[in-house]
């Protein structure tokens, strides 16, 4: 748990002379620089939103402006209903399906494994856990190519479930997080239940799981963000336009050599921007609302590393 403590600032000085001037500079400088950086961080997002709300005339005016003077929702209707974009609503649904299935599956598997690695005893437990964790750092040589062969062999290409299963394979970080969460729990409740004759499954469902919902939420958020935004793996595994996820579809319509994009350049950037906003929106919402949990989970993972 990070506790913010008062620290002497970098520009503090114990000299009485010029203390006031020093103090002001001390407070001003970091904030000014940080504000500039924050604006740069936000610029692309603002640009995407404003482009998506601009009509064609504004998009292609000689001097591009940052904010739309006459906002319109035309680009959104374009990207969801126009001829040539029929697959888009389905792509959106696919993304939602894949992400939700992935996060449910991952949370389930990670929680089970986390419980097993922390509370149960079996030969090779710790070695296995370290192996799983260290695998995170092994560079993936030819992993995507081998995965291609594997998925084709299992007939899992071009399917939402296949994607969800494949994404759920990335269990190193989730198991790590869940195990940490379990280890931090006191054992008194469990011991009482054991004395009453509970078996591990009952312990798991009745006692442990309700106590680790925090960790489960962190894993869920991380998994959602990763699977929602995935591009390369999905691109490799899915061929048909109806089965694509939103991430891949947006990229496809932005590629000027793509056959999907039939209309003239008239609404190019606007519709693309609308797609990008649709892609970014769920992630931003999830992130800001649950930022507290998210940062804590990441810090726990990083601290232990």
Partner 1 sequence: MSVLTERGNAASATLERPIAGRRSSYRLYGNPLWGYLFVGPPLIVFAIFNVWPILRGIVMAFQDYRWLVPRTQCVWCTNGLANYAELLQDDTFWHSLRVSAAYTLMYTPTTILLALLVAVLIGQVRSSRLEGIYRVICYLPVVLPVTAAVLVWKSIYDTQFGYLNQFLTAVLGIQSPPNWLGSPEWALVAAVIPAIWRNFGYDMLLFLVGLYGIGSELYEAASIDGAGAFERLRFITLPLLKPTFVLVLVLSAGVVSATEEMLLMFGSVGGPGESALTAGLYAYRTAFLVGDMRLGYAASINLVLGLIQMAMAGAVFLFFRTERA
Interface of this chain with partner 1, residues 75 to 104, rule: CB under 8 A: none
User: What is residue 241's DSSP assignment?
Assistant: G
Among 55, 229, 241, 290, binds partner 1 (CB under 8 A): 229
Which of 28-36, 71-79, 80-88, 211-219 is the region at the interface with partner 1 (rule: CB under 8 A)? Answer: 28-36
# chain residues binding partner 1, by CB under 8 A: 121
Among 56, 104, 211, 225, binds partner 1 (CB under 8 A): 225
Which residue, 82 or 225, is less far from partner 1 as judged by CB? 225
Report which of 236, 67, 246 is spatially closest to residue 254, judged by C-alpha positions: 246
266: contact with partner 1 by CB under 8 A: no
127: contact with partner 1 by CB under 8 A: no
Please list, residue by residue across 29-47, b when 16 or more beta carbons sit within 10 angstroms of its beta carbon and e when fewer do.
eeeeeeeeeeeeeeeeeee
Tell me how far, at minimum, the Cβ of 93 lies from partner 1, in Å.
17
170: contact with partner 1 by CB under 8 A: yes
- Contact 132/175 with Cβ under 8 angstroms? yes
Tell me how far, at minimum, the Cβ of 99 lies from partner 1, in Å.
11
Which residues, numbered 49-68, are part of the site for partner 1 (CB under 8 A)? Answer: 51, 59-60, 63-64, 66
Tell me how far, at minimum, the Cβ of 81 lies from partner 1, in Å.
21
Among 16, 17, 259, 305, binds partner 1 (CB under 8 A): 305
26: contact with partner 1 by CB under 8 A: yes
Among 83, 199, 210, 240, binds partner 1 (CB under 8 A): 199
Which tokens is 234 given?
Answer: 């999905």
165: contact with partner 1 by CB under 8 A: yes
Tell me how far, at minimum, the Cβ of 278 lies from partner 1, in Å.
9
Which residue, 36 or 73, is less far from partner 1 as judged by CB? 36
Which residue, 84 or 165, is less far from partner 1 as judged by CB? 165
User: What is residue 190's DSSP assignment?
Assistant: H
Report which of 54, 102, 40 is spatially closest to residue 229, judged by C-alpha positions: 102
- Contact 221/290 with Cβ under 8 angstroms? yes
184: contact with partner 1 by CB under 8 A: yes
- Contact 48/272 with Cβ under 8 angstroms? no
Alpha helices in the chain (DSSP H): 19-52, 56-59, 74-81, 87-119, 125-134, 143-153, 160-168, 172-183, 188-195, 200-202, 209-211, 213-229, 232-237, 246-254, 268-289, 291-304
146: contact with partner 1 by CB under 8 A: yes
Report which of 160, 136, 140 is spatially closest to residue 248, judged by C-alpha positions: 160
Which of 69-77, 78-86, 169-177, 211-219 is the region at the interface with partner 1 (rule: CB under 8 A)? Answer: 169-177
- Contact 48/276 with Cβ under 8 angstroms? yes
- Contact 244/143 with Cβ under 8 angstroms? no
47: contact with partner 1 by CB under 8 A: yes
């Amino acid at each position: 748990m990070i506790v913010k403590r008062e620290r002497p600032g970098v520009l503090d000085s114990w000299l009485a002379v010029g203390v006031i001037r020093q103090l002001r500079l001390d407070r001003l400088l970091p904030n000014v620089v940080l504000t500039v950086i924050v604006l740069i961080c936000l610029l692309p997002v603002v640009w995407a939103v404003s482009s998506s709300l601009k009509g064609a005339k504004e998009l292609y005016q000689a001097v591009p402006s940052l904010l739309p003077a006459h906002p319109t929702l035309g680009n959104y209707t374009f990207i969801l209903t126009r001829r040539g974009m029929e697959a888009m609503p389905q792509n959106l649904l696919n993304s939602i399906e894949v992400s939700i299935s992935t996060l449910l599956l991952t949370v389930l598997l990670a929680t089970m494994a986390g419980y097993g690695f922390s509370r149960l005893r079996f030969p090779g437990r710790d070695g296995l856990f370290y192996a799983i964790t260290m695998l995170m750092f092994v560079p993936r040589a030819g992993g995507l190519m081998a995965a291609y062969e594997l998925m084709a062999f299992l007939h899992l290409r071009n399917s939402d479930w296949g994607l969800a299963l494949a994404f759920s394979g990335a269990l190193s970080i989730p198991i790590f997080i869940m195990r940490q969460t379990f280890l931090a729990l006191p054992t008194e409740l469990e011991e009482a239940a054991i004395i009453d004759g509970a078996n591990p499954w009952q312990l798991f469902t009745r006692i442990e799981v309700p106590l680790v919902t925090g960790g489960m939420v962190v894993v869920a958020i991380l998994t959602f963000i990763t699977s929602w935004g995935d591009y390369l793996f999905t691109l490799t595994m899915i061929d048909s336009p109806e089965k694509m996820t939103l991430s891949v579809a947006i990229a496809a319509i932005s590629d000027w050599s793509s056959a999907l994009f039939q209309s003239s350049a008239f609404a190019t950037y606007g519709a693309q921007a609308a797609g990008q906003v649709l892609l970014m929106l769920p992630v931003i919402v999830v992130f800001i609302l649950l930022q507290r949990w998210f940062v804590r989970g990441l810090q726990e993972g990083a601290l232990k590393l």
